[in-house]
Amino acid sequence: MSLLIQDLHACIPDREILKGFSLEVKPGEVHAIMGPNGSGKSTLSKVLCGHEDYEVTSGSVTLDGEDLLAMDVDARSRAGLFLAFQYPFEIPGVSNANFIRAALQARLPKGEELDAVGYYKQLYRRMDELEMSRSFTARSVNEGFSGGEKKRNEILQLMMLEPKYSILDETDSGLDIDALKVVSQGVNAMRSPERGFLVITHYQRLLDYIKPDIVHVMVEGRLIRSGGPELALELEAKGYELTHAA
Amino acid sequence: MSVAAPIAEPEMEKPLSPPLSSAPTDLTPDFSKLEDAPEWFQSRARAAWEEFQSLPMPGLRDEHWRYSQSKNLSLDGLHLAGETTEAEKQAAIEGSKGLTHVAARLIFLNDRLIHSQTDGLEQGVVVLPFAEALRSHGDVLQQYLMKRKADLGSEKFAALHLAHVQAGAVVLAPKNAVLKAPIEIFHWVSGVNSLVFPHTLIVAGDHAQVTVLDHHASLRDEVAQSVAVADFVAGNGSHITYVNSQELADSARALHISSTTVARDAQVKALQLQLGASFARSESVSDLAGEGSRSDMLGVSLPFSSQVVDMRTLQNHLAPHTYSDLLYKNALYDKTRTIFSGLINVADGAHYTDAYQKCRNLLNSADSEAVSMPGLEINADQVKCSHGATSAPISADELFYLKARGIPDQESRQLIAIGFVEDVISRLGHEELIESLDRRIEEKFARQAA
């Protein structure tokens, strides 16, 4: 039982970005991936979700033994994978409540209707935890949201969908310290022995709030170092130069 | 199951949905039926028939029919809608599922009134079937009935309408009457090659407020044609909200000719919701006649299969300090086609006009085509005008985002399309009305998916 990535190679038309990436995230674990700009961190998250801009040329990814790469984007999500986007997209005219409801409905067997009362109860509870105003249920998905509100909305979706494996792609970028705390609390509330997390970040700061079990350093499309939480502090102190020496 | 036909091009002669029979059509009105109608009406109906006969069908070079063609509304083989059976009446009444809270509901089948419920009317608002209004409120009709000449291409069809009109609703709201609940009208058509002439006239007195929802629907999927006219007269400071919900069967054809006159400080919102028909055309004119008047011209279409939606508009600013805002959105599927042609005219002296016009098309298929022809004519000073048209496929980013949350491809596309038109519908500002129209759109998607 794990999200298992083995020797993954992926490219965009003119160049290879992931060059033999391997990692196993087990339920209950929180992994952090740090790395300089252009190391392929965000590409990794999009490839795992099945973004059509990237072609996987070799390697494998399995989610609890199932071949993730053989699944469509939506099937990967329903199988238990979640990506908190670095830059969440806006969906004009689709209310946040309807969007999340459609995502939950898609997880039910055909012909079964989502219980609306239970849904809203849960939605409001999670929104309260994230200190989100109720007005966000009726507003169009991410439209006119501030950077911080968009990130809270990503975590709200995470909390509602309860995925087995979550990837947080630079969730801390553009957040002030208060928003960072709230978002981190949301993630921490979801930590459990049944769920694995992959936290991608450029800065060590986030890891003060979401404490990782294992920290990895990614450079040029693959992991070059792994260690405990202290590795993040070392990177913060010495900068990514040390990764070249490694 | 829509009528298979080639996509219309200006140079093509073939009509979109050929009538089943090409027998010579006799559409001569039976004027003897008008014996108890007012004299003025009898003579106008006769004159209209003369006019219909004298006017040619609009030709291929007619500017108002560019990228479309009047043969899509060919009258060949059509006949006046006939008597219906008791079972058909029952089916129409049962099929008239609309709003929960209405001030009045009229149901017509083949231009005959089959149901009338007006117990929710208050403050002196009157809702009458056309024939009855002719007898009881002849003076009002004489003043307002089709006084604004159709001039966006369908003059001939408007003349035919006036020669035959006997059904539809006349809504008269006296000064200061504010009716919260909408008035809902159903126009059903039944019988192969039936031709109907639904009429709507709304006259709002000073500071009155009314909302009217028209449905045009078919009992069965068969060739039929609706030639509707809807005129709105908004008195000083009044508010009129109007929706034309065109839900005809895929084989039917629809024409909706509408004119709006907005007096001082009055506001009119009118939405064209095109859901059915193989060919649907709307011609909407707004005359901003009084200072401070405002017109919101709204349009939504979601054509599937080989449906063609043809929209012609005129924002006609005749007085200073007038405001018009046009927003038409089309979500196109399969081999469908939309044509939008809109003109903003700012007349001499209509200074300080604000006029906006936007047509946006969401292309869900590589075989769909959206034609947009915006236009401006400005003869005044201190005018703010903008117009624009965009056509784009569904955003890959939006689609990826929804699918990344587990929503399957088809549902994701549907959510995006419904969201795309939602801001137009929500501008009606009436919650139950908005919900009811949203439901109809969702039902259309469900029918297509089935």
pLDDT at A237: 83
Q: Which residues does B402 contact at the CB level (< 8 Å), separation at least 6?
A: A91, A99, A102, A103, B411, B412, B415, B416
Q: Which residues does B84 contact at the CB level (< 8 Å), separation at least 6?
A: B92, B109, B110, B112, B190, B191
A141 part of a folded domain: no
Dist. CA B64–CA A203, nearest whole Å = 62
A148 part of a folded domain: no
Dist. CA A103–CA B62, nearest whole Å = 49
Q: Please report residues of A whose CB lies closer than 8 A to that of B418.
A: 93-94
pLDDT digits (tens, 9 = 90+) for B77-127: 999 999 999 999 999 999 999 999 999 999 999 999 999 999 999 999 999
Q: What is the mean pLDDT of residues A96-118?
A: 96
Dist. CA A186–CA A204, nearest whole Å = 18
Share of chain B above pLDDT 70, in %: 94
Beta-carbon separation of A85 and B401 below 8 A:
yes
Dist. CA B121–CA B182, nearest whole Å = 10
**Residue B432 confidence class, pLDDT cut points 50, 70, 90:** very high
Q: Please report residues of A whose CB lies closer than 8 A to that of B402.
A: 91, 99, 102-103
Nearest CA in chain A to B399: A91
Dist. CA B303–CA B101, nearest whole Å = 29
Q: Please report residues of B whose CB lies closer than 8 A to that of A88.
A: 401
**Residue B16 confidence class, pLDDT cut points 50, 70, 90:** low
User: How close B246 gets to chain A, by Cα (Å)?
Assistant: 22
- pLDDT of B197 > 70? The answer is yes
Closest by Cα among B224, B177, B216, B232 to B82:
B224
**Residue B150 confidence class, pLDDT cut points 50, 70, 90:** confident
Dist. CA A23–CA A5, nearest whole Å = 5
- pLDDT of B49 > 70? The answer is yes
Weakest-pLDDT range from B17-26, B107-116, B160-169: B17-26
**Residue A178 confidence class, pLDDT cut points 50, 70, 90:** confident
Whether residue A71 lies within 8 A of chain B, CB to CB, comes out as: no
Q: Sign of the CA dihedral A205, A210, A216, A221? A: negative
ipTM of the complex: 0.95
**CATH code, domain carrying A179:** 3.40.50.300
A75 part of a folded domain: yes
Expressed as residue numbers, the domain containing A23 is 3-91+163-245
Pick B402's closest partner by Cβ from A72, A91, A93. Answer: A91
pLDDT at A240: 73
A97 part of a folded domain: no
pLDDT digits (tens, 9 = 90+) for B248-306: 999 999 999 999 999 999 999 999 999 999 999 999 999 999 999 999 999 999 999 99
Closest by Cα among B59, B233, B201, B45 to B130:
B201
Q: What is the mean pLDDT of residues B190-201?
A: 98
Looking at the DSSP bridge assignments, the partners of residue B255 are B227, B281
pLDDT digits (tens, 9 = 90+) for B321-340: 999 999 999 999 999 999 99
A221 part of a folded domain: yes
| Residue B408: DSSP 8-state | -
Nearest CA in chain A to B401: A89
Report how many domains make up chain A. 1
pLDDT digits (tens, 9 = 90+) for B212-248: 999 999 999 999 999 999 999 999 999 999 999 999 9
Beta-carbon separation of B396 and A77 below 8 A:
no
Weakest-pLDDT range from B14-28, B249-263, B282-296, B366-380: B14-28
Q: What is the mean pLDDT of residues B365-374?
A: 95
pLDDT at A243: 57
pLDDT digits (tens, 9 = 90+) for A74-83: 999 999 999 9
- Report the 3 state secondary structure along chain A: CCEEEEEEEEEECCEEEEEEEEEEECCCCEEEEECCCCCCHHHHHHHHHCCCCCEEEEEEEEECCEEHHHCCHHHHHHHCEEEECCCCCCEEEEEHHHHHHHHHHCCCCCCCCCCHHHHHHHHHHHHHHCCCCCHHHHCEECCCCCHHHHHHHHHHHHHHHCCCEEEEECCCCCCCHHHHHHHHHHHHHHCCCCCEEEEEECCCCHHHHCCCCEEEEEECCEEEEEECCHHHHHHHHHCCHHHHHC
Beta-carbon separation of B403 and A98 below 8 A:
no
A57 part of a folded domain: yes
